[in-house]
Amino acid sequence: MATVRASCPSCGDVELTTREVQVQVCSATDEGTYSFLCPGCRLIVNKGAEQRVVELLVSAGVRVVSWDLPAELSEPKCGPPITYDDLLTFHFELDSEGWLEHVIAGGGPLGSR
């Protein structure tokens, strides 16, 4: 099994086996990242990877995972953007009695009752 040398922001250079590294490639943009659990600090390190690095890691036997952008990104968006006032209204609404029932019953925009 090949050894991969990577860098942790806290611990510096660390050595990993190919089994301890994973490559992620976005299906829509082809952008790649790789991640590993740092053997030093036990935190997950995630870094961007150019195509060349992705190919190198994959040819060394690193597992590749393809991921999709969230479907919400392609949903049509309408209406004005929310404002700080909307957020404040929502905050107070959540603190009020029966807010969930009001929303479920289609009681109109929050703050309208």
Contact residues: Zn ion, CB under 5 A: 8, 10-11, 38, 40-41
Distance CA 46, CA 43 (A): 10
Q: How far is the CB of 43 from Zn ion (least distance, A)?
A: 6
Q: How far is the CB of 40 from Zn ion (least distance, A)?
A: 4
Q: How far is the CB of 45 from Zn ion (least distance, A)?
A: 7
Distance CA 100, CA 113 (A): 13
State whether residue 38 is helix, strand or coil.
coil
Name the residue nearer to Zn ion (CB basis): 39 or 108.
Answer: 39
Half-sphere exposure of 3 (CA within 13 A, CB side): 4
Name the residue nearer to Zn ion (CB basis): 8 or 16.
Answer: 8
